[in-house]
């Protein structure tokens, strides 16, 4: 696993945005692999990345015509148009500002009548695109990736997960109050993330310092699900100086 330390969250974001730009520009579509397939996170950490990707696009430097995306997770019970849904977040911060074909944008449906079927179909759709090339992720303060809370199976696939009290409290900053935060979410599994050809995590801020320590300096543990990246042959963590306080 590579660890790259940048001064602050904006420089960490810039490193990843430039990396993705190079990968997207260097992608050569073929009849069997017409799209570079990205896994994408929500949260505050990836915002500097999305801002720059939009800027590159607006400056005419980057096209997303040959990009397909799969988001990591979505709250159960929130409609696509709900301002706190991840669907809304992704469109506001990225998809509405770039030239991606919206048929290639995939986000779990938090209002699906059958969550199990929705999750199984998501896995099948990923497969139909030939798998995920680069899975970009953030990390929770308890070391979760996507919504794979402590105790998740490291072989897990896309499924419905109950959120921990800690995650609900931490994520309540995006809502008007804590009672509005859904208690369950649909999320890709740790196994789904590990299947990607490459995984990149952005980890910024002092609140993530303990989780970063657990992720890279202790053993692989289902109690700190990001530590599963130790088993991936091409994983990279980009962090800022605040996040390395416990290393």
Residue numbers at the binding site for ligand GLP (CB under 6 A): 41-45, 72-73, 138-140, 146-147, 167, 171
Closest by CA position to 244, among listed 36, 73, 9: 9
Instruction: Spell 70-94 as b/e; 16+ CB within 10 A means b.
Output: bbbbbbbebeeebeebbbbbbbebb
Which among 118, 133, 149, 240 is annotated as catalytic?
149
Is 73 annotated as catalytic? yes
Which among 74, 123, 142, 240 is annotated as catalytic?
142
- Our CB check for ligand GLP shows the closer of 63 and 93 to be 93
How far is the C-alpha of 242 from the C-alpha of 203, rounded, in Å?
Answer: 9
As measured in angstroms, the least distance from the Cβ of 161 to ligand GLP is 10
Q: Could you tell me which residues come within 8 angstroms of residue 76 by beta carbon, excluding any fewer than 6 positions away?
A: 110, 115, 160, 182, 184, 185, 186
- Our CB check for ligand GLP shows the closer of 43 and 62 to be 43
As measured in angstroms, the least distance from the Cβ of 228 to ligand GLP is 14
Report the chain's terminal Cα–Cα distance, integer Å: 15
- Our CB check for ligand GLP shows the closer of 22 and 246 to be 246
Which among 73, 123, 195, 240 is annotated as catalytic?
73
As measured in angstroms, the least distance from the Cβ of 32 to ligand GLP is 30
Is 114 annotated as catalytic? no
How far is the C-alpha of 226 from the C-alpha of 212, rounded, in Å?
Answer: 8
Is 142 annotated as catalytic? yes
Is 149 annotated as catalytic? yes
How far is the C-alpha of 245 from the C-alpha of 41, rounded, in Å?
Answer: 24
How far is the C-alpha of 136 from the C-alpha of 190, rounded, in Å?
Answer: 13
How far is the C-alpha of 69 from the C-alpha of 125, rounded, in Å?
Answer: 11
- Our CB check for ligand GLP shows the closer of 99 and 246 to be 246
Give the CA distances from residue 15 to residues 4, 19, 46, 194, 214, in Å, rounded to whole numbers and listed in that order.
Answer: 9, 6, 12, 22, 23
- Our CB check for ligand GLP shows the closer of 42 and 109 to be 42
Instruction: Map tokens 């970009």 to a residue.
Output: 136
Active site residues: 73, 142, 144, 149
């Amino acid at each position: 696993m590579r660890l790259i330390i940048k001064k602050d969250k904006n420089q960490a974001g810039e490193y990843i945005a430039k990396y993705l730009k190079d990968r997207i520009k260097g992608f050569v579509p073929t009849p069997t692999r017409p799209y570079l397939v990205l896994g994408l996170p929500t949260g505050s950490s990836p915002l500097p990345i999305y801002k720059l990707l939009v800027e590159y696009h607006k400056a005419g430097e980057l096209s997303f015509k040959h990009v397909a995306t799969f988001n990591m997770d979505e709250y159960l019970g929130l409609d696509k148009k709900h301002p706190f849904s991840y669907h809304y977040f992704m469109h506001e911060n990225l998809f509405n500002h770039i030239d991606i074909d919206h048929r290639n944008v995939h986000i779990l449906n938090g209002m699906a009548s059958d969550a199990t079927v929705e999750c199984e179909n998501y896995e099948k759709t990923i497969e139909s695109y030939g798998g995920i090339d680069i899975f970009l992720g953030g990390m929770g303060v308890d070391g979760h990736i996507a919504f794979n809370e402590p105790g998740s199976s490291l072989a897990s696939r896309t499924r419905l997960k109950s959120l921990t009290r800690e995650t609900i409290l931490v994520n309540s900053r995006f809502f008007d109050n804590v009672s509005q935060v859904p208690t369950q979410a649909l999320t890709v599994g740790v196994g789904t993330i590990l299947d990607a050809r490459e995984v990149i995590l952005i980890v910024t801020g002092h609140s993530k310092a303990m989780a970063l320590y657990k992720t890279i300096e202790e053993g692989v543990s289902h109690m700190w699900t990001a530590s599963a990246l130790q088993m991936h042959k091409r994983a990279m963590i980009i962090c800022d100086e605040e996040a390395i306080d416990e290393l």
